Structure 1
Amino acid sequence: MRIYFSIVQRKVVTPNDFHDLADIEARLEAFEDHYNFLARPFNWRYTKHDLDQLLKRLAAHNTGPLTMAA
Structure 2
Amino acid sequence: MPLSRWSCPEPAAEPAARGIADSVSASTVRRWLRGDAIKPWQYRSWIFIRDPDFRAKAQRVLDLYARTFEGIPLSEDEHVVSSDEKTSVQARCRCPRPRRRAGP
What TM-score bracket applies, with the shorter chain setting the length? 0.3 to 0.5
TM-score (norm. length: structure 2):
0.27
